Amino acid sequence: MSSNNIGRAFVQRTRGSRSRKGKSLENVPSLKEFVHRQSVVRQYRGFLRAVKKLNDATFEEQGRNEVRQQFDSLKYETDKITISMAVKEGERKLKELKSLVGYTDNNAQYDDDSWLNIKDEDDPRGRVGEDWPWSK
């Protein structure tokens, strides 16, 4: 056996054990598509969590149905501008819905050192000082 044939036999033997038989890589999304899908799924779940905070069971069911209907209506959209606008509109509506139902996200990161979180008896709004700094 020549050295050429030995190398070829080795390649054939190892290639079969590492190949993905029956699995097609054609349906694997790109990184951009994967990240977009995850953001849409996160938004959808956020809507469902916020709707769950509604006090009335009837309103909760109507809210769930509305969320599903809106997401299903754009499920097969291919225009990138329409998709981008829908995601931005969804972010705005989700923020609005969360504020309406009083939803607080436990995973949100808050800055405890922020001037917004200062508790001051003299100024409950957290403002500092009385005059403009340059007027002195």
Residue 66: half-sphere exposure toward Cβ, Cα within 13 Å:
14
Cα end-to-end distance, the chain, whole Å? 96
Q: Is 1 within a domain?
A: no
Q: Is 90 within a domain?
A: yes
Q: Is 80 within a domain?
A: yes
**3 state SS for 91-124:** HHHHHHHHHHHCCCCCCCCCCCCCHHHCCCCCCC
**Which residues span the domain enclosing 45?**
29-101
CA-based max dimension of the chain: 96
CB 117, CB 111: distance < 8 Å: yes
> What type of residue sits at position 77?
E
Q: Is 107 within a domain?
A: no
Each residue of 67-94: pLDDT tens digit?
Answer: 999 999 999 999 999 999 999 999 999 9
Each residue of 47-63: pLDDT tens digit?
Answer: 999 999 988 899 999 99
Q: Is 56 within a domain?
A: yes
Q: Is 4 within a domain?
A: no
Q: What DSSP designation does 28 have?
A: P
Q: Is 111 within a domain?
A: no
Instruction: Give the pLDDT score at 6.
Output: 57
Count of the separate structural domains present in the chain: 1
Q: Which position has the higher pLDDT, 123 or 81?
A: 81
Please report which confidence band the pLDDT of residue 131 belongs to, taking 50, 70 and 90 as the band edges.
Answer: low
